[in-house]
Amino acid sequence: MEPKKISHEALKEEYFYMNHPSGLSIYVYPKKGYSSKYAIFGTNFGSINNTFKLKEQTSFTVVPDGIAHYLEHKLFESKQGDAFKLFSKTGANANAYTSFDKTAYLFSCTDNFEASLNILLDFVQSPYFTQENVEKERGIIAQEIKMYEDSPEWKSYINLLGALYQSHPVKLDIAGTVESISKITPEILYECYNTFYNLRNMALCIVGDVDYEKVFSLVDKKLEYSNPLEVTRFLPVEPHDVAKEFVSESFDIHSSIFNLGFKENMKVDSRLSTAESVYTDIILHHLSSPSCEMYKKLLEEEVINISSFSADHLEGPGYSSVVFSGESCNPQRAAEIIRNYVDKLAISGIDKETFERSKRAVYGKSMTVFNKVSDIANILMGFVFSGKNFFDYMDILDAASLEDLNSRLATELKSKYSALSVASPK
């Protein structure tokens, strides 16, 4: 089967795509002259997918929270040995991560790319779970969970999600709890692996100075046919109202850390369109810009630490929230300023000059993505699993209008559906 070339004339960028007979979606993005090569092998399976069933099953299977993250840890250990040790022999820098909606295994290298790619394809497709090695990993992950529980930045963020969401599993810690992982067995790991690590639910993205035909030929030798599986993922109906307006936890810190979230109303299992994401990015650039009146007021009243303040967007199946975060001597006042400003802005709208300036800034920042192989690969993977086209973002951004931006602004940020989480000094 011949790969399909997908190109963007204005950007002068292109990549190659193949829906391999095994079921795997493969993307090769050649970047001539780049010394670094990057590969990421991911599955559309994250921490929110804890309830599911196959077509032939009559009832849903509920697995312990943290199973996706636990599975990520365990895949690195196979009958051939520790995958990290194998990568060290090729000189590759390997890693993995689990998010709310996906799990990914990756490496970067300058030499021995083919040998490293073989290792990646081998260990991700070779699960090896025993009672002994699963039990051994339990203690390691429990220590990791406890470490994050002591992190005021992470706990404030997770506490915010628990305040924003009443039912959606995005409110749960990605790694689960010490109690939930105590219920994980080799049998449960194999069940999740066989369900979600089916190649038809996965994608491989490779970026760097590589010969795409050679890469497709190499990958072809490593893949076996995956039978089609019809998996139903259960996500509960999430009301628009937040669970709590305020939550606080004390830590051994000198200054408070806050996370203020604005929750968007989403249908079950729905995702934002590319256009909605584009307009959110433009809005957030304005709100975190030194020229923004809200930002100026936060600084004038000295209620934020300028180096730590940020505005981010969390989005996935059935959830979408804008989160402002940073250090503050007065988190409640910082939240009040932000809430008042966005409520007024939703009515007045953003003016044309501000819109054009923010749009240009987002476009410029987005263009820098094409200069880094890891950014290309990870963003491409995200677009693949959300069912969107990689190049569409730039086209929609280029054609963005002030009218559509203000229409998005009027519905996205409402203080009525916001919550504040604070990590405060003991």
Residues annotated as catalytic (active site), given as ranges? 72
Q: Which residues contact 35 (CB under 8 A, 6 or more apart)?
A: 110, 209
SS3 content of the chain, % helix, strand, coil (to 5): 45, 25, 35
Output Rg (C-alpha) for the chain, integer angstroms. 22
Given the DSSP bridges, would you call strands 77-78 and 81-82 parallel, antiparallel or unpaired?
antiparallel
Question: Can you spell out the DSSP letters for 53-92?
Answer: EETT-SS-EE--TTHHHHHHHHHTEETTEEHHHHHHHHT-
Q: Note whether 409 and 283 are within 8 A (CB).
A: yes
The Cβ of residue 61 has, within 10 Å, a number of other Cβ atoms equal to 15
d(CA 128, CA 165): 36
Beta bridge partners of 223: none
> Please, where are the H alpha helices in 200-257?
212-220
d(CA 202, CA 94): 19
Give SS3 for 248. strand
For 20-47, give one letter per residue: b (16+ CB within 10 A) or e: bebbbbbbbbbbeebebbbbbbbbbbbb
